[in-house]
Amino acid sequence: MEFNHVHKSKKRVDVYEKVTGRAKYGADMRFPDMLYAQTLYTKYPYAEIKNIDLDKAKKQTDVEAIITAEDVPNNKFGVIIENQQVLAEDKSLFIGDGIAVVAAKTAKAAARAIELIDVEYKELEGIYDPLKARKEGSQLIHEENESNQVIHHPLRKGNIKQGFLESDVIIKREYDTPFIEQSYIEPEAVVAVPYQENSTITVYGSIQNPFATQGAVASVLKEKLNKIRIVQNHMGGSFGGKDEVVSSMAARAAILALKTKKPVRLVNTRDQSIKESYKRHPYKMKYKIGATHDGQLKAMQIEAVADSGAYACQTPFVTWRSVVQATGPYEVANVKTDTYGFYTNNIYTGAMRGYGSPQVIFAQESLMDELAEELDMDPVELRLKNIYHNNSITASGQKLDSHQVSLEEVLTKAVEKSDFIEKYNRYKKEQTGDKKRGIGLSISFRGCSLGAEAIDAAGIILSLKKDGSVNLYSGLAENGQGLKTVYCQIAGEILGLDIDRINFMEVDTLISPDSGSTVASRATLIGGNAVKKAANNLKNRIKKFIAESYEQTEDDIVLKDGKIYGKKSIEIMSIAKMSSMAAMEGVCLTSYGWYVSPEISWDEEIGQGNPYFTYVYGCQVAEVEVDIKTGEINVLKMTAAHDVGRAINPANVKGQIYGGVMMGLGYGIMEELKTNQGYIQNTNFDEYLIPTVKDMPDIDPIIVENPDPDGPFGAKSIGEPTLELGAAAIANAVANAADKRIRSLPINLEQIIVGRKLSKGGGQK
Amino acid sequence: MKKQSKGVKDRPRISGKDFNQYKYFRPKSKKELIRIINGFQEDLTIIAGGTDLLVANYQKLYEIKNWLDLNLLDELKNIKMFDDKVEIGSMVTHQRLSKLDQIKELFPVLHQAAADVGSPQIRSRGTIGGNIVTSSPAGDLLPPLLIYDAKLKIISGEGSRVVDANEFFTGPKKNILKKGEILEKIIIPLKEDIYKGAWIKVGKRKALIISSISLALNLSMDRSNLIKKARICIGSAAPVPLRIKTAEQAILKEELTKINIEEVAQIVSEKISPIDDIRGTAKYRRQVALNITRKALSEVMNQ
Ligand SMILES: Cc1cc2nc3c(=O)[nH]c(=O)nc-3n(C[C@H](O)[C@H](O)[C@H](O)COP(=O)(O)OP(=O)(O)OC[C@H]3O[C@@H](n4cnc5c(N)ncnc54)[C@H](O)[C@@H]3O)c2cc1C
């Protein structure tokens, strides 16, 4: 198929404003009389709040208002379970809980006032280990519940006992992963403006999901949705991280704005951001796998326990994705998987790029290599024997028959391009010197979009102007991933317009169609289909108008290069001219596209059904050099093969691969938010280490394209798959290099030399 | 040596308005500097590159009252070569130390350590003087200075004194500097010996990283190729950068190829007193001290 605008590495439409500094971010917003707010956080992770004395703080000059939980109309919110406190009421449940928020004329005055608030606490003994929280009879973090369990997702397939009976080899392993910070470069920022136009409150800011924030603010303020307006500014990154924490900040700022009748700005420092924003879930996983001598997988039994921290947040859905993907992309007849989330007094956990998959992939892809070793088989061969193909049946009983199952293709391409087999065998032999090389791989299948989490639909409005230019209003948001460009390309392809004629408007809940959240690598797939629909609706109206006015048949009419062509490809007129004529004739030039994803199903009791309507497949290969005398790991090269359906913008796809590989590398060898009894020990980037440009390996991206029947021009997902594979591939490479299997992330110097971590995330002292 | 890009020169100077209740001094000469120290009674905070100071006072810079900025003191930015010594002004940046050929030739360990500091941004602002006065056990230039027997010239209103770098550090972020004293320069003696040296920095990533442990080694050989003087110093594994004198003694007068590497490594690993912190456990540091001592000694053997 020939394309003019999609399938091309077009320059990003938002690049100019970003590199020139013209782009406005949340913290850049300024309004007359704007006040500066600051939050006072709890002193103890778990404590009773006996008294809050605001007197001294209120008397400070320039202080205009102070709020505590008492001032919050409805103090508990949440997308799935409403139990997150906007401000701590009777108790603080984790170290980032807010106690009070001050609004003052200057930031300095707000900071000073914060220091003058006297809080009387009664420190309580908390629970900081999900396995402890799980124990029957342990004290309840949320007293209204019967236990500390947030959720349990079971999955049952076949007969697990029989499966292990039929196995010749059975191995059992335990793996664990730490808390991870999303590490967006721009800390959270919101400005709430009261009574702007017809809205009670308007919130501007670094908001990943404007509709989720709208819902949260409306519920907290007990106000109607149509009175709450959220406008998204440019985002300095999010990676799943600017949802609930920003909603909570938006609600706090909104309450202060209504109280003072002035705009209120609430912007976090990095320390505040790390302390109050939710993290990626730490998992403790137990895997048991059985196979025949020749490598046929027979049974898999999995238990994964996630630390939800103080609130439910996204735990029910994060652990649901884990239950679907926990076995990896392998056909296993007998499966018993249980994933759980438990409340603790740790920092709460929520969405982060990958969303419940990087943890289980680290475990299951490490396990496959361990099994291969046990069977004396090479890791590629073992995988090839068991991977999904067309019409395979997944662990949840879904038959993969709607799209090309390209696992073998991505695996083979990555293996060949990286020279895996030759290197794997060479590195396995005794190596001289302190620096040992190793190579490892991992593969995955990943459900695209929300799946059975929620209704999956999105809308787009296209408005063709009289000069042939177009405004595009989307409910899904640019979070830095390149969405604006991709949508402009899809609309441009159908309307025959250059992308510079299409203007993607910032998401504004006043106009944009509620399309759910920009999460789950769903925006190109779901929103892209909506763009296609809206553009086709508009195109059909144009065709009809031209056919009627110029004695053409609609079938002959083609929109291309900004022009309209008719019978025998004769140019009729420019789209610009047509637009002004059609407008004068009263043709509606605004169109709506609404896309609802194909049907899916899920039986929560047994974990069976068709959880996602399509999947993507990926394989990453890591080549490393381990200094066995210092423990230093040098990741030399990552080869990443990903099936994206169709690359709407190949340069963008590569960008996602480079970025995701780097985040996966950080997850693999250095990132770890350290906690001790609920206190966070590394609250800034001097001690919370993420990879620098010097740590960046050579990255070889391989884009695999098998257009999906349900994707716009065949496109599927790329954002999250790129991150979920790296840690597992690196773990396998380290094992190949140093003959040392490390089952606990991050695989840092300590672990290579002394085989343990400085402190376990979430563990006891 | 002075190369200032246009952008830097054109930047607006700090204006007196920002400091209306307090003082901001920027002396242009040593004379003026001494006059300020002598004439000003209140607390003065000295700022060089600011890369430690600004981080330590993050979000509470306003608490610093009176400033003494050394950045216009060109005299402190000199590197002077003499027959028997090299003098490095305290305001010399890591960037210059890591780029100068003379430094590379004469003090390769110092040169390499300077190149390992932070990132280009940090190296181009951070100074050797700031590194010394901060006195962090993890300061990367400190082990190299100790193995080269550096001396520090300290000036004050009352005069000046010269101390051994090895006597300067008294604990984590603690040193012998008194109120009103300023580190003027670092003096490194030169001998006609043949030097063999090694620098190893171990950290959790490849740049912008505080050392988990570091090692500086310098051996000077006499004509008959026996070890005349040995210096081994470990960073980040004790309250101060630590010279391991017993290990140094153990290899004196030995032939390089006959050093008992194991013995030296054991001594080093025993003499340090590492702690558990965010950059590593004591156990890790002891094990790695052993490993990197072996590594450094085999490296010099092959030089
Ligand atoms: C991101 C980052 C990375 C870093 N990486 C490293 C690293 O890898 N290795 C490393 O060793 N360090 C590192 N540092 C620390 C720092 O950059 C160095 O210690 C640097 O040499 C400090 O020099 P400065 O000129 O910036 O000192 P300043 O911050 O200006 O001063 C530091 C202290 O010394 C005092 N002082 C400075 N000069 C004098 C003087 N002449 N006389 C008396 N007192 C004086 C000041 O009052 C202050 O107390 C890093 C810092 C940052 C922010």
Judge whether A535 and A491 are in contact, CB under 8 Å. yes
Instruction: Tell me how many domains chain B contains.
Output: 3
Q: Ligand 1 in contact with B50 (CB < 6 A)?
A: yes
Q: Ligand 1 in contact with B175 (CB < 6 A)?
A: no
Query: How remote is the CA of residue A603 from the centroid of ligand 1, in Å?
Result: 60
Q: Is the pLDDT of residue B1 over 50?
A: no
Please indicate, yes or no, if residue A349 is contained in any of the structural domains.
Answer: no
Judge whether B134 and B173 are in contact, CB under 8 Å. yes
Question: Do the Cβ atoms of B202 and A681 come within 8 Å?
Answer: no
User: What is d(CA B276, CA A765) in angstroms, rounded to the nearest whole number?
Assistant: 13
Tell whether B93 and B108 lie within a shared domain. yes
Chain B hits for A632, Cβ within 8 Å: 202
Q: Ligand 1 in contact with B118 (CB < 6 A)?
A: yes
A236-A239-A243 Cα angle (round to 5) = 90
Mean pLDDT computed over every residue of chain B: 92
Tell whether A227 and A251 lie within a shared domain. yes
- Average pLDDT, stretch B195-224? 95
User: What is d(CA A479, CA A185) in angstroms, rounded to the nearest whole number?
Assistant: 12
Per DSSP bridges, beta strands B24-25 and B67-69 are: parallel
Please indicate, yes or no, if residue A415 is contained in any of the structural domains.
Answer: yes
Per DSSP bridges, beta strands B169-171 and B174-175 are: antiparallel
One-letter amino acid at A410 equals V
Count of H-run helices and E-run strands, chain A: 20, 30
Residue with tokens 């140094």, as numbered in its chain: B248
- Give the sheet arrangement for strand B24-25, strand by strand: B24-25, B67-69, B45-47
Q: H or E stretch including A625?
A: strand A615-627
**pLDDT band with cut points at 50, 70 and 90 for residue B17:** low
CATH of the domain at A56: 3.90.1170.50
- Extract the residue ranges of chain A whose pLDDT is less than 70: 756-765
Q: Is the pLDDT of residue B2 over 50?
A: no
Instruction: Tell me how many domains chain A contains.
Output: 3
Query: Which residues 421-440 in chain A show a CB within 8 A of chain B?
Result: 434
**Residue A374 in contact with partner chain B when CB distance is under 8 A:** no
Domain boundary among B189, B209, B230: B189
Classify burial at B182, counting beta carbons within 10 Å of its beta carbon; exposed 0-12, middle 13-18, buried 19 or more: buried
| Torsion sign, CA atoms A489, A492, A496, A501 | negative
Q: What is the pLDDT of residues A438-451, one digit of tens each?
A: 999 999 999 999 99
User: What is d(CA A233, CA A206) in angstroms, rounded to the nearest whole number?
Assistant: 6
CA distances from A381 to A330, A433, A446, B74 (A): 13, 30, 22, 67
CB-facing half-sphere around the CA of B137: CA atoms within 13 A = 20
CATH of the domain at A542: 3.30.365.10
**Owning domain of residue A433:** 357-450+612-754
Neighbouring residues of B236: CB distance < 8 A, sequence distance ≥ 6: B137, B138, B210, B211, B212, B213, B214, B274, B279, B280, B285
What are the tokens at B47?
Answer: 């700022």
User: What is d(CA A209, CA A193) in angstroms, rounded to the nearest whole number?
Assistant: 18
Site to substitute for ligand 1 among B122, B173, B240, most atoms within 8 A of C-beta: B122
**Residue B26 in contact with partner chain A when CB distance is under 8 A:** no
Please indicate, yes or no, if residue B198 is contained in any of the structural domains.
Answer: yes
User: What is d(CA B82, CA B189) in angstroms, rounded to the nearest whole number?
Assistant: 9
Query: Which residues 343-372 in chain A show a CB within 8 A of chain B?
Result: none
The ipTM assigned to this model is 0.92
Return the pLDDT at B3. Answer: 46
Judge whether A746 and A178 are in contact, CB under 8 Å. yes
Tell whether B221 and B254 lie within a shared domain. yes
Q: H or E stretch including A160?
A: helix A160-165
**Residue B302 in contact with partner chain A when CB distance is under 8 A:** no
Q: H or E stretch including A39?
A: strand A35-41
CA distances from A496 to A119, A246, A558, B3, B149 (A): 63, 39, 8, 54, 74
Please indicate, yes or no, if residue A173 is contained in any of the structural domains.
Answer: no
Cα torsion through A431, A641, A477, A189, rounded to 10: 0
Judge whether A514 and A459 are in contact, CB under 8 Å. yes
Q: What is the pLDDT of residues A560-572, one digit of tens each?
A: 999 999 999 999 9
Return the pLDDT at A765. Answer: 27
Domain boundary among B189, B215, B237: B189
Candidates A739, A197, A126, A119; CA nearest to A430 is A739
Candidates A35, A151, A190, A204; CA nearest to A103 is A35
Tell whether B95 and B114 lie within a shared domain. yes
Assign A376 to helix, strand or coil.
Answer: coil
Tell whether A411 and A366 lie within a shared domain. yes
Tell whether A237 and A88 lie within a shared domain. yes
Judge whether A104 and A36 are in contact, CB under 8 Å. yes
Tell whether B199 and B98 lie within a shared domain. no
CATH of the domain at B113: 3.30.465.10
Domain boundary among A218, A236, A267: A267
Query: Which residues 723-752 in chain A show a CB within 8 A of chain B?
Result: 748-750
Tell whether A670 and A651 lie within a shared domain. yes
Tell whether A686 and A569 lie within a shared domain. no
What are the tokens at A756?
Answer: 């343990």
User: What is d(CA A249, CA A86) in angstroms, rounded to the nearest whole number?
Assistant: 8
Assign A637 to helix, strand or coil.
Answer: strand
Q: Ligand 1 in contact with B48 (CB < 6 A)?
A: yes
Alpha helices in A261-307 (DSSP H): 270-276
Tell whether B199 and B184 lie within a shared domain. no
Tell whether B297 and B257 lie within a shared domain. yes
Neighbouring residues of A154: CB distance < 8 A, sequence distance ≥ 6: A323, A336, A337, A338, A605, A606, A607
Please indicate, yes or no, if residue A90 is contained in any of the structural domains.
Answer: yes
Q: Ligand 1 in contact with B135 (CB < 6 A)?
A: no
Strand partners, A85: A76
Burial A147-178 (b: 16+ CB within 10 A, else e): bbebbebebbbbebeebbebbeebbebebbbb
Tell whether A85 and A205 lie within a shared domain. yes
**Residue A698 in contact with partner chain B when CB distance is under 8 A:** no
A239-A243-A245 Cα angle (round to 5) = 110
Tell whether A419 and A475 lie within a shared domain. no
Please indicate, yes or no, if residue B262 is contained in any of the structural domains.
Answer: yes
Please indicate, yes or no, if residue B12 is contained in any of the structural domains.
Answer: no
Tell whether A97 and A204 lie within a shared domain. yes
Query: How remote is the CA of residue A746 from the centroid of ligand 1, in Å?
Result: 30
Q: Ligand 1 in contact with B47 (CB < 6 A)?
A: yes
Tell whether B117 and B164 lie within a shared domain. yes
User: Which of B205, B212, B291 comes nearest A670 by C-beta?
Assistant: B205
Q: What is the pLDDT of residues B243-283, one digit of tens each?
A: 999 999 999 999 999 999 999 999 999 999 999 998 899 99
Chain B hits for A681, Cβ within 8 Å: 278
Query: Which residues 260-299 in chain B show a CB within 8 A of chain A?
Result: 276, 278, 280-281, 283-284, 287-288, 291-292, 294-295
Test mutation, B57, B58, B206, chain A, max A CBs within 10 A: B206
What are the tokens at B2?
Answer: 């002075």
Site to substitute for ligand 1 among B117, B168, B176, most atoms within 8 A of C-beta: B117
- Give the sheet arrangement for strand B227-235, strand by strand: B194-202, B213-221, B227-235, B242-243
Q: What is the pLDDT of residues A401-429, one digit of tens each?
A: 999 999 999 999 999 999 999 999 999 99
**Owning domain of residue B106:** 78-189
Test mutation, A626, A754, A759, A760, chain B, max B CBs within 10 A: A754
User: What is d(CA A103, CA A64) in angstroms, rounded to the nearest whole number?
Assistant: 6
Q: Which residue of A has its CA nearest to B56?
A: A686
CA distances from A733 to A101, A622, A739, A747, B299 (A): 49, 6, 9, 11, 28
User: What is d(CA B96, CA A449) in angstroms, rounded to the nearest whole number?
Assistant: 53
Return the pLDDT at B61. Answer: 86
**pLDDT band with cut points at 50, 70 and 90 for residue B21:** confident
Please indicate, yes or no, if residue B6 is contained in any of the structural domains.
Answer: no
User: What is d(CA B219, CA B157) in angstroms, rounded to the nearest whole number?
Assistant: 38
Strands, E assignment, A105-222:
118-123, 149-157, 169-176, 189-194, 201-205
Tell whether A110 and A250 lie within a shared domain. yes
CATH of the domain at B223: 3.30.390.50
Assign A550 to helix, strand or coil.
Answer: helix
| Torsion sign, CA atoms A566, A571, A576, A578 | negative
Q: Which residue of A has its CA nearest to B293?
A: A629
Q: H or E stretch including A639?
A: strand A633-643
What are the tokens at A285?
Answer: 């996983």
Judge whether B220 and B193 are in contact, CB under 8 Å. yes
Please indicate, yes or no, if residue B15 is contained in any of the structural domains.
Answer: no
Tell whether A431 and A530 lie within a shared domain. no
Domain boundary among A572, A596, A620: A596
Tell whether B211 and B238 lie within a shared domain. yes
Minimal-distance CA residue to ligand 1 atom 15: B52
Test mutation, A627, A629, A688, A745, chain B, max B CBs within 10 A: A629
What are the tokens at A479?
Answer: 């979070």
Tell whether B198 and B228 lie within a shared domain. yes
Cis peptide before A263 (omega within 30 of 0): no
Query: How remote is the CA of residue B90 from the centroid of ligand 1, in Å?
Result: 11
Tell whether A87 and A210 lie within a shared domain. yes
**pLDDT band with cut points at 50, 70 and 90 for residue B13:** low
Residue with tokens 């980032």, as numbered in its chain: A96
Minimal-distance CA residue to ligand 1 atom 28: B50
Question: Do the Cβ atoms of B288 and A629 come within 8 Å?
Answer: yes
Chain A hits for B55, Cβ within 8 Å: 686
With helix as H, strand as E and coil as C, how does chain B read? CCCCCHHHHHCCCCCHHHHCCCCEECCCCHHHHHHHHHHCCCCCEEECCCCCHHHHCCCCHHHCCCEEECCCCHHHHCEEECCCEEEEECCCEHHHHHHCHHHHHHCHHHHHHHHCCCCHHHHHHCEHHHHHHHCCCCCCCHHHHHHCCCEEEEEECCEEEEEEHHHHEEECCEECCCCCCEEEEEEEECCCCEEEEEEEEECCCCCCCCCCEEEEEEEEECCCCEEEEEEEEEECCCCCCEECHHHHHHCCCCEHHHCCHHHHHHHHHHHCCCCCECCECHHHHHHHHHHHHHHHHHHHHCC
Query: How remote is the CA of residue B124 from the centroid of ligand 1, in Å?
Result: 11
Judge whether B293 and B269 are in contact, CB under 8 Å. yes
Domain boundary among B166, B189, B212: B189
Tell whether B141 and B202 lie within a shared domain. no
- Average pLDDT, stretch B182-210? 95
Strand partners, A591: A462
Per DSSP bridges, beta strands A571-574 and A63-68 are: unpaired
Please indicate, yes or no, if residue A212 is contained in any of the structural domains.
Answer: yes
Judge whether B241 and B211 are in contact, CB under 8 Å. no
Tell whether B56 and B90 lie within a shared domain. no
- Average pLDDT, stretch B23-51? 94
CB atoms within 10 A of CB A487: 31
Tell whether A569 and A513 lie within a shared domain. yes
Return the pLDDT at A10. Answer: 97
Tell whether B172 and B200 lie within a shared domain. no
Shortest Cα–Cα distance, A627 to chain B (Å): 11
